[in-house]
Amino acid sequence: MVQLTMAKAITAGLSAAMARNEKVVTIGQDIGKLGGVFRITEGLQDRFGAKRVIDSPLAEAGIVGTAIGMAARGYLPVCEIQFDGFVFPAFDQIINQASRLRFRSSGHVTAPIVIRLPYGGNVGSIEHHGESPEAYFTPTPGLRIVTPSTPADAYDLIQQAIDCPDPVIVLEPKRLYHSLKGEVDLDAPPRRELSQAHVVRTGTEVTLIGYGPMVSTLVNAAKVLADEGRSAEVVDLRSVAPIDWATIEASARKTGRVVVAHEAPRTSGVGAELAARIQERCFFHLEAPVLRVTGLDMPYPPSRVETDYVPSVDRVLEACDRAFAY
pLDDT of residue 285: 97
Whole-Å CA distances, 278 to 31, 85, 154: 41, 30, 27
Q: What is the pLDDT of residue 122?
A: 86
Q: With the CA atoms of 194, 74, 26 and 32 taken in that order, what torsion angle do they form, in degrees rounded to the nearest 10?
A: 160
CATH number of the domain that 98 lies in? 3.40.50.970
Q: Residue 158: its pLDDT value, please?
A: 98
Query: Dmax over Cα atoms in the chain, in whole Å?
Result: 60
Full domain range(s) for residue 203: 198-325
pTM, 2 dp: 0.96
- The answer to whether position 267 is within a domain reads yes
Instruction: State whether 17 and 120 are in the same domain.
Output: yes
Instruction: Give the sign of the dihedral formed by CA 5, CA 304, CA 169, CA 77.
Output: negative
d(CA 285, CA 290): 12
Q: What is the CA radius of gyration of the chain?
A: 19
Looking at the fold, whether 176 and 108 belong to one and the same domain comes out as: yes
The confidence score (pLDDT) of residue 222 equals 98
Query: Residues with Cβ < 8 Å from 121, sequence gap 6 or more?
Result: 129, 130, 131, 132, 175, 263, 300, 306, 309, 310
Question: Do 215 and 68 belong together in one domain?
Answer: no
216 in any annotated domain = yes
* 32 part of a folded domain: yes
* Residue 135 domain flag: yes
The answer as to whether 101 is a domain residue is yes
The answer on 219 and 177 residing in a single domain is no
Report how far residue 300's alpha carbon sits from residue 284's, in angstroms, rounded to the nearest whole number: 37
Query: Do 29 and 145 share a domain, yes or no?
Result: yes
Say whether 262 is catalytic.
no
**191 domain-assigned:** no
Give the dihedral of Cα atoms 40, 42, 47, 50; nearest 10 deg: 90
Into how many domains does the chain fold? 2
Same domain, 109 and 210: no
Burial tier of 305 (Cβ tally within 10 Å: 0-12, 13-18, 19+): exposed
Mean pLDDT, each 10-residue run in order, the chain (326 residues): 96 97 97 94 96 95 96 96 94 96 90 96 87 96 97 98 97 96 94 96 98 97 98 98 98 98 97 97 97 96 91 98 96
280: buried, middle or exposed (CB in 10 Å: 19+, 13-18, 0-12)?
Answer: exposed
Closest CA to 261 of 246, 242, 240: 240
What gap in Å lies between CA 121 and CA 110, rounded to an integer? 33
Annotated catalytic residue, options 128, 129, 198, 262: 129
- Same domain for 180 and 264, yes or no, is no
What is d(CA 321, CA 316) in angstroms, rounded to the nearest whole number?
9
Claim to verify: residue 209 and residue 314 sit in the same structural domain? yes
Q: What are phi and psi of 126, to 5 degrees?
A: -90, 180
Residue 256: HSE in the Cβ half-sphere, 13 Å Cα cutoff: 11
Same-domain pairing of 18 and 89 = yes
CATH of the domain at 290: 3.40.50.920
> Do residues 249 and 167 share a domain?
no
* CA dist 96 → 101, 305, 317 (Å): 9, 36, 41
The reported pLDDT for the residue numbered 128 is: 86
153 and 221 both lie in a single domain: no
